Amino acid sequence: MQLTGIRRLASKILKVGKSKIWFNSLETDKIKEAMTKEDVRLLIKDGLIKKKKLKEHSRGGARKLQEKKKRGRKRGFGKRKGTYKTRSKKKKTWIKKVRAQRKKLQELKKEKKLGKTKPSEIYKKIKGNFFRGKKHLEASVLEGKKWAKKQPTK
């Protein structure tokens, strides 16, 4: 059998393309003797026919870039796509906001500036994302506003 036919059989057996099949050049006569799929399987088992390794995309450049970014490079305005809000994780920004408001609530509690409102009520409002920020929390607590409506964000 010709080598092209054997190559085709080997590619079906090894489940790769014809270009990925390697023949041992010193044993071509032995390879040409193969007639059936079983013969080709035996040649594969003996190591006369092998599957070439797949060439993969190099990650060296990506690793270098990652290292530079880790050090704080390549993060200037020219590299940015999207606003600050889209680039920052929503949960992290929410956590920062809530922690700041809770800290502010503790300060107001210590200074006894809460007035009639219960701290637990305000705490729940903070958790429910009622206040836009610390200033909004402070203004609404000091003015003693009622908790009827959430004010629109600007």
Domain for residue 79, yes or no? no
CATH of the domain at 107: 1.10.1200.60
| Enclosing domain of residue 17 | 3-51
Is 37 among the domain residues? yes
- 83 lies in a domain? no
Instruction: Tell me the whole-structure pTM to 2 decimals.
Output: 0.48
Amino acid at 85: K
Domain count, the chain: 2
Q: Does a structural domain hold residue 73?
A: no
pLDDT of residue 148: 47
Alpha helical stretches, state H, the chain? 3-14, 28-32, 37-46, 60-70, 84-87, 90-111, 119-127, 134-143
Residue 109 falls within a domain, yes or no?
A: yes
Confidence band for 38, pLDDT divided at 50, 70 and 90 = very high
Does residue 34 sit within a domain?
A: yes
Decide if 104 contacts 97 (C-beta within 8 A).
Answer: no
Q: Is residue 82 in some structural domain?
A: no
CATH of the domain at 39: 1.10.1650.10
Averaged confidence pLDDT in the chain: 90
Question: What pLDDT digit, counting tens, does each position of 79-109 carry?
Answer: 999 998 898 999 999 999 999 999 999 999 9
For residue 148, tell me if it sits in a domain: no
pLDDT for residue 77: 94
Give the pLDDT band (50/70/90) at residue 151.
low
Q: Give yes or no for residue 37 having a pLDDT over 60.
A: yes
Count of alpha carbons within 13 angstroms of residue 40, beta-carbon side:
22
Task: List the beta bridge partners of residue 49.
Answer: 23
10 within 8 A of 48, measured Cβ to Cβ? no
